[in-house]
Amino acid sequence: MRRTYKYRVYPNEAQKAWLAQSFGNCRWLWNHMLDVRQQAYKERGETLSGYDCDRLLTALKKDNPWLKETPISSLQQVDADLDHAFKAFFSNRRKGRVVSRRRDPKTGRPRNPYGHPRYHGKKGARESICIKQGSGSSSPTIYVDDDGRLRLPKMPGTLKVHWSRMPEGAVKRVTLSRDRCGDYFVAILCDGVEPEPQDHPKGNVGLDMGVKHMLVASGGEVVDALQALGRNWARLARLQRKLSRAQEGSNRYRKLRRRVARLHRRIANMRKDFQDKLATSIAKGYAVVSVEDLETKWWWQDGPMAKKAQEAALGQFMALLEQRCERYGSRFVRVGRTFPSTQLCSACGVKAGPKGKEGLKVRRWVCPECGTAHDRDLNAAANIDREGLRILQAALRQAA
C-alpha cells in the first residue's frame, strides 16, 4: 500500500530562493499552458492533451532558460494536473453537475459553473511543487543522506527536515509547499508500505454523519464535532478587525495577516488531530465500517448550516477514515446517497420515516407498522450498517 508522510522543513536562504523560483516557474507554466490550450481550441477547434503540452516543454525551456532551474518532472506534473482539471471539467459538464452556486452580482449567472480551470495568481494560494523519483538512473535522485538531511534534484545543498518518524517503503515522489504563514513542509509519498492489521474486537458498525451530531454509531455512541472554530472565534474576530484597520502593504498589515493565518492553521490542525484520532480508534475497533456517501459541499453554501458544516468537516473525516481502514485492515463500505436510511424502520423495514426538508425537524418518530419508537440518527445508523453488510457480501460473492 501507499502512504504519505508530512514533515516540517527548514530551508536556508539559497534554498528559499530556489523554492520561490520553482513555485513561480510552475505557476507561470500552468497559466501559459492554460492559455495555449484555450487558444488552440478557439482558433483551430483542437483539444490538446497533457502529452501534447509535454512536447512543448523543450522549446519553452530554450526560449525561457530560467525554467531549467526546476526539475523536469515538476514541469511535467503541472501539465498532468492541468490535463486532469480539464478532464474533470468536461466530465462534470457531461453529467450536468454544477460545481459552484456562486452567482455574478451583475449578470446573476453562476460563476465558474462547471469548474473550468482558472489562472493561478501569485497571492492567496498555497504554493507547491511536486518532484518525482528518477526512473532512468541506477541510483535514486531523492534520498536521505547519512546526516538525516533530504537530497532533492537541482536543489542547492541538502534540506533540513524535522523527522517525527522515518518514512517506510520506496520513495515515489515528494511535494514541497509553503503555506500562508511562510512555513515550509514536505510530503513524501512511499510505496510498498506494509499494512498494520488489528484484531477488531467490535465487529461491524454503521455510521450516520450529520451537522447536529458529527457521528452517530449503530451501537449508540454519539460524537459531536470539536468546535475548534467556535473556541477561537472571538480571538479570530479580534485579529480580523485589527487587520481591517491596518494599511494594506505596511509592516503591521503583514504581521497581522501572518497572525491570522497562523490562527487559521491552528484551528485546522486541532480539527484534523481530533478527526485523525477518532478515525484511528474506529478503524482499529471495527472489522467493517459502513458510511453514507454524502454530498457535503452544498452544506458549505447553506447559510444556517455553513458554519456547523465547517466545524464537522465530514469530507475530510471520511477520507481519513478510509485511509485508516486500509492501513489497519478494516473493510470500508460506502452506502449510496440515494439509500433512504432515515425513512426505513430498522426493526421491520417499512419505509415510513420523515422525509424532505420538513422531515429534518423530526428527531424522533414511531413506526406505524410495528410501533417501534426511533431516534432519527440511531435508526439511520442501524440501516446503514445493515445495507453496508449487504453490499459487502454481494461484492465478496461476485469476487468468488
**What are the pLDDT digits (tens) for 326-378?**
999 999 999 998 898 888 998 888 888 888 767 778 888 899 888 889 888 99
Q: What phi and psi values does residue 384 have, to the nearest 5 degrees? A: -65, -40
pLDDT at 1: 87
Question: Can you give the pLDDT at residue 400?
Answer: 76
> Do 123 and 251 share a domain, yes or no?
no
Residue 283 has what pLDDT? 94
Given 156, 191, 226, the domain boundary residue is 191
- Is 196 a domain residue? no
Is residue 58 domain-resident? yes
The answer to whether position 197 is within a domain reads no
Cα separation, 42 vs 51, whole angstroms = 20
- Examine the domain organization and report whether 132 and 56 are in the same domain: yes
**Residues 232, 143 share a domain:** no
* 186 and 229 co-located in one domain: no
Of the residues 191, 220, 243, the one at which a domain ends: 191
For residues 177 and 7, give the distance between their C-alpha atoms in angstroms, rounded to a whole number: 11
Looking at the fold, whether 275 and 345 belong to one and the same domain comes out as: yes
Whether 317 and 355 share a structural domain: yes
pLDDT surpasses 60 at 100: no
Local confidence band at 128 (pLDDT 50, 70, 90 cut-offs): very high
Provide, rounded to the nearest whole percent, the portion of the chain with pLDDT above 90. 56
Three-state DSSP state, 342: coil
* Residue 54 in domain: yes
Is the pLDDT at 257 greater than 90? The verdict is yes
pLDDT at residue number 198: 85
C-alpha to C-alpha distance for 119 and 32, rounded to whole angstroms:
9
Residue 314, pLDDT score: 87
Percent of the chain with pLDDT over 70: 92
**pLDDT for residue 359:** 75
219 and 364, same domain (yes or no): yes
Q: Are residues 112 and 254 in the same domain?
A: no
Per the structure, the count of domains in the chain is 2
For residue 291, pLDDT beyond 90: yes
Q: Which domain holds residue 376?
A: 204-399
Q: Does pLDDT of 194 surpass 60?
A: yes
Which positions are annotated as active-site residues? 208, 292, 377
User: Mean of the per-residue pLDDT values for the chain?
Assistant: 88
pLDDT-derived band at 102 (thresholds 50, 70, 90) equals: low
Residue 127 lies in a domain: yes
Q: Are 222 and 168 within one domain? A: no
Q: Is 198 a domain residue?
A: no
For residue 167 the three cell numbers come to 518514512
Is 61 inside any structural domain? yes
Q: Residues 94-101: what's their mean pLDDT?
A: 59
